[in-house]
Amino acid sequence: MNYEFMITGTPLPLCMPLPRAALQLPVSSTAKVMYARLLDEILTNGIEDSNGILFIRFPVMELAAVLSRSPQTCKRSLNELEQAGMVMRVRQGVGEVSHMYILLPKEDTDYE
């Protein structure tokens, strides 16, 4: 991979969004990277539900492959994000992938 120095006006390569407030989340680094990837996915491939709210379907095995982590690590990180109120998974029928809603942190949220 080739590298170059940044100067004023250098265009950035494709990047994943990560809200600054997410850096304050009481979750692991893997969960933070996962959150950025999920946010990127919902912005590019989000599906509207009947209320106009975006969700995604991202199977754990695919998420593990994209993040180069084990499925167990991804499950643990998803649970962390869910407990922190950053992701809401809505289970579907047997054999169906859950709908995942990605929630945005408020800037004034104080995580300790």
Structural domains in the chain plus CATH codes: 20-102 (1.10.10.10)
Of 36, 9, 6, the C-alpha closest to 20 is 36
pLDDT at 63 over 90: yes
Nearest to 81 by CA among 26, 6, 21: 26
Nearest to 77 by CA among 12, 33, 110: 33
Token output for 105: 């942190």
Higher-confidence residue of 17 and 62: namely 62
pLDDT(112) > 90: no
Name the band, by pLDDT with cuts 50, 70 and 90, for residue 109: very low
- Surface-to-core class of residue 87, CB atoms within 10 Å of its CB (0-12 exposed, 13-18 middle, 19+ buried): buried
Mean pLDDT of 70-97: 93
Which amino acid is located at 82 in the chain?
E
pLDDT above 50: residue 35: yes
Which pLDDT value is given to residue 44?
Answer: 92
